[in-house]
């Protein structure tokens, strides 16, 4: 059955200027489904010199000048879908425009803008355009699935350079693969093994076990919101759908509920002084309505982007990329307690 395993170990050191004995605790946590390991030391948050008041206005103005995604350029600077995929070239609605990624890493890989504005801060995103974007992505997913048979969609949102976004202008990405990504594939496989062994859904067990406990943030009609036990990044939040197992199943109502959770989390990231984040969905295949798997979504905050202060650290170094372990400095239980008020 589902277990939250952790071991606390201590590191001793003699830090300057007094060189007196100091002990720091490191929690080694194992993900209950996938067994990846996370190392949490909350004192690592003190590594960086106190972030100064970050002023992004120069950076935003500079990148505004020749932004590919701003309304006056987007028609000239972004690719069109081949006719076979989307006759009109781009998928358009009120606020979003969806078009192929200029440098795709999959056969069906698109980018969607979220606003006409070149920059929005984390607490400035309105709900409708993001719901529109998500539903446009769903339409693209269904089209690709029908015409080409690729069926594993991933919807992601990177914001500002620390998240690996190359464009400042707010945008999301969607791609559809024939095979799930490594991570999604492992989640689906492990969920199936868990179900076969326990005759219960891992995701139902997870929600039941976390409900109203220290990592529980809240819920709405469509989703449960939890701070991940063994997170892969700081301030990691997980949204677990109660009904859907894949992205193409989402109704407008479910899309609304997801975006509402995302925007509340962004408001809190802003309160915490953050300005950059990542979001990703982990979806079963388009034609799969799996009783042992739930569509789920994760968000994490990224190091604060400070263009005039080049000493901010990058996220995702040797430990994450080559050793498959995650070093985190926020405690999930604190994350949940701090985020809760926005969901009330
Ligand atoms: Zn722009």
Residue 324 lies in a domain: no
Query: Is 1 inside a domain boundary?
Result: no
Beta-sheet strand order (sheet of 22-30): 5-13, 22-30, 37-40, 325-328
Question: Looking at 44-53, 145-154, 240-249, 323-332, which range is the least confident one?
Answer: 44-53
Please, what is the average pLDDT of the chain?
Answer: 94
Cα–Cα distances (Å) from 162 to 132, 195, 276, 281, in that order, read: 26, 37, 6, 19
In whole angstroms, give the CA distance from residue 273 to residue 143.
40
The pLDDT, as a whole number, for residue 311 is 57
CA–centroid distance, residue 229 to ligand 1 (Å): 37
pLDDT above 70 covers a percentage of the chain that reads 96
Cis peptide before 17 (omega within 30 of 0): yes
Mean pLDDT of 7-31: 97
Look at residue 183 and tell me if it is in a domain. Answer: yes
Tell me, yes or no, whether 8 lies in a domain. Answer: no
Give 75-124 pLDDT, tens digit per residue: 999 999 999 999 999 998 766 799 999 999 999 999 999 999 999 999 99
The predicted structure's pLDDT at residue 96: 75
Domain span including residue 188: 54-314+329-343
Distance 140 CA to ligand 1 centre (A): 23
Q: How confident is the model at residue 316 (pLDDT cuts 50, 70, 90)?
A: confident
Find the 69 Cα to ligand 1 centroid distance in Å: 5
Residue 225 maps to a domain: yes
What confidence score (pLDDT) does residue 322 get?
A: 87
Ligand 1 mean position, distance from CA 116 (Å): 7
Q: Strand, coil or helix: what is 65?
A: coil
Pairwise CA distance, residues 178 & 278, whole Å: 24
Distance 84 CA to ligand 1 centre (A): 29
- Is residue 142 in some structural domain? yes
Round to whole Å and give the CA distance between 83 and 294.
Answer: 33
- Residue 220 belongs to a domain with what CATH number? 3.30.428.10
User: Ion ligand 1 — residues with CB under 5 Å?
Assistant: 67, 69-70, 118, 169
Q: How far does residue 168's CA lie from ligand 1's centre (Å)? A: 7
- Give me the percent of the chain exceeding a pLDDT of 90: 85
What is the domain count for the chain? 1
CA–centroid distance, residue 133 to ligand 1 (Å): 16
CA 218 to centroid of ligand 1, rounded, Å: 34
What's the CA-to-centroid distance between 118 and ligand 1, angstroms? Answer: 4
Ligand 1 centre from 68 Cα, in Å? 6
pLDDT of 312 over the 70 cut: no
The yes-or-no verdict on residue 164 having pLDDT over 80 is yes
- Mean pLDDT confidence for 308-320: 73
Cα–ligand 1 centroid distance for 277 (angstroms): 18
The answer to whether residue 291 is domain-embedded is yes
Q: Is residue 40 part of a domain?
A: no
Centre of ligand 1 from the C-alpha of residue 70, in Å: 4
Centre of ligand 1 from the C-alpha of residue 139, in Å:
24
239-254: average pLDDT: 97
pLDDT per position as a tens digit, 217-233? 999 999 999 999 999 99
Distance 303 CA to ligand 1 centre (A): 22
Compute the distance from residue 147 Cα to the ligand 1 centre, in Å: 32
Distance 169 CA to ligand 1 centre (A): 4
Query: 189 falls in which pLDDT band (50, 70, 90)?
Result: very high
């Amino acid at each position: 059955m589902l277990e939250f395993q952790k071991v606390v170990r201590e590191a001793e050191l003699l830090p300057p200027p007094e060189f007196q004995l100091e002990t720091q605790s490191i929690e080694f946590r194992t993900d209950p489904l996938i067994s990846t390991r996370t190392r949490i030391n909350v004192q690592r948050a003190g590594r960086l010199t106190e972030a100064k008041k970050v002023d992004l206005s120069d950076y935003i103005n500079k990148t505004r000048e020749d932004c590919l995604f701003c309304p006056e350029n987007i028609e000239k600077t972004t690719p069109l879908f081949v006719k076979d995929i989307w006759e009109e070239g781009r998928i358009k609605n009120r606020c979003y425009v969806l078009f192929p990624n200029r440098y795709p890493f999959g056969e069906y890989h698109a980018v969607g803008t979220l606003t006409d504005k070149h920059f929005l801060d984390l607490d400035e995103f309105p709900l409708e355009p993001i719901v529109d974007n998500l539903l446009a992505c769903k339409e693209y997913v269904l089209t690709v699935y029908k015409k080409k048979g690729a069926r594993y969609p991933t919807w992601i949102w990177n914001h500002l350079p620390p998240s690996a976004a190359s464009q400042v202008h707010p945008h999301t990405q969607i791609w559809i693969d024939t095979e799930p990504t490594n991570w999604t594939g492992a989640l689906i496989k492990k969920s199936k093994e868990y179900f076969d062994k326990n005759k219960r859904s891992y995701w139902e067990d997870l929600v039941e076990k976390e409900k109203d406990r220290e990592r529980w943030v809240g819920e709405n009609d469509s989703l449960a919101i939890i701070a991940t036990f063994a997170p892969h990044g700081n301030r990691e939040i997980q949204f677990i759908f109660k009904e859907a197992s894949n992205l193409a199943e989402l109704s407008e109502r479910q899309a609304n509920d997801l975006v509402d959770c995302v925007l509340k989390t962004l408001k809190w990231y802003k309160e915490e002084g953050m300005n950059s984040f990542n979001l990703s969905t982990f979806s079963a295949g388009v034609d799969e309505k799996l009783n042992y798997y739930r569509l789920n979504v994760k968000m994490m905050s990224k190091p604060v982007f400070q263009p005039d202060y080049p000493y901010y650290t990058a996220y995702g170094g040797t430990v994450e990329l080559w050793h498959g372990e995650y070093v985190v400095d926020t405690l999930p239980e604190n994350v949940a307690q701090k985020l809760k008020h926005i969901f009330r």
